[in-house]
Chains A and B, each alone.
Chain A
Amino acid sequence: MTTEPPDDRFITLLLANQSRVYRFLFTLVPRREDVEDLFQQTCLTLWQERAKFDPEKGEFASWACAIAQNHVRNFRRREATRLALLSEEVAELLVTTRGAGGRFSEECHRALQHCLNRLPPHHMALVEQSYREGALKSTAAAAGRSANALYKSLRRIRAILHDCMVRVLAEGNIS
């Protein structure tokens, strides 16, 4: 059995929770580039502030998401004129609906994995290329299709995945 020094424990928690923080940021900021920036700022703050984390006072994910939310607030102030973000009131409501413990998010995550496993291979390949390559134009060029046509396909596949997720969540048998 392991007896971990504090930093080891902290990094274990950080690694285990980083996808939660990343996904939480998407609740508040839609653009992936912005999420990536905010994710990295959050990681840095978490590392710098690690001594302040007290497991007795709450879950690591809640603490990390609170720090991420602070970064988003600063981001909103800086970028308010440039970005078409949802109002702060709506953003706060979404965070509340999502739940401090992130249970809803975890259920969605598991539902998504379930649905991805059922996606036909050619749909899976398109989703993977689009998200991995990032730029839709280059993915479209590689596939010999227009960016617009590829985007429509991607949108349709996301709708299929979302229908599946909603159905799985409604069935409520994701443990």
Chain B
Amino acid sequence: MMLKKKTSIPAIATIVLVALAIVGFSYAHWSEYMRVTGEVETGKLCAKIVTWFCNDKGEDPGYTKDVAKCTCWIDKKDPRYAHVKIENAYPSYEVKFTCDIENCGTIPWFMQTPVVILANGTKIELVDSEWVDIDLDGDGKPDANFMYIDGEDKQVHPGKYVEWSLRIHIKQSATPGTTYTFTISVDVVQWNMVE
């Protein structure tokens, strides 16, 4: 009679099972998770021009004749832009523009100093309540001077607006029969970033 040869396979299998049971035991426990979910929604900084008009509505301001003409309008597609057109201007003609800039966002902002950008790219910072000579055509002679007047409160809260005005005065050295162009940019900055 032949003796059956002993094999180690059952032993190995048993060890594996025991090992798996131990591992299974270590993972098999109840657990409960605590989750934190967050949502951050940023605010919106927005400024737009809501009113814009000039004081030349017939007779030229300070005179008794209607010689020059001033037209101003807000861009219908993009109210960040306002336009002004002065026609038939002459030395000493002066016109005042007034606009309301509204905070159309959710963050309070501060209005910064306006900057005149000329056709040749030159930038000139205006000064509150002071005339600044502007050489519009770059010929070395000032053709006009600009003055801006700040609103009383430069910090504007959402839904509120600030009134801002600009005065343009044509100088003697302006050239007759000439068209000058310019852009004025006014930055507004979130309120807590301005000292």
**Does B bind A?**
no
